[in-house]
Amino acid sequence: MNLLAQPVGLPHYLVVSAILFVCGVVCMATKRNMLGVLMGIELVLNGANLNFVAFGSPMLRAGPSDGLGLDGQLIALFVIVLAAAEAAVALAIALNFYHTHATVDVDRGEELKG
């Protein structure tokens, strides 16, 4: 579908968010560096956020009903804030981890392994 001609619709946004989301998951799944995992989480959150915004956006869907409406953006806002908080805590944990284990390799933090 030629986006230069056709209007942009909800599915396009969903596809992008899906790609971001999956990238995030794969990133989390493959990185051994704790910060890498963290970045993966950020990507996942962004994918989700993009969905919220897309569903809330008034212009992507035909008809009067604009889906989530303002709520989409509001929830996205909350997600961003929480993401920031989560990043702060995660970094703090990472630093502590580094102080105790002298590494950020998540595979090394397996004291609680069964």
Residues 45-74 that bind another protein (CB under 8 A): 46, 49-50, 53-54, 56-63, 69-71, 73-74
CB of 54 to another protein, least distance (A): 6
Q: Is 82 in the site for another protein (CB under 8 A)?
A: yes
Give 68's Cβ-side CA count (13 Å radius): 17
CB of 53 to another protein, least distance (A): 5
Q: Is 101 in the site for another protein (CB under 8 A)?
A: no
Count of residues binding another protein (CB under 8 A)? 89
Sign of CA dihedral 25, 40, 38, 81: negative
Q: Is 109 in the site for another protein (CB under 8 A)?
A: yes
Q: How far apart are CA 98 and CA 86, in angstroms?
A: 18
Residues 1-20 that bind another protein (CB under 8 A): 3-20
Nearest CA-CA partner of 47 in 74, 76, 90: 76
CB atoms within 10 A of CB 57: 18
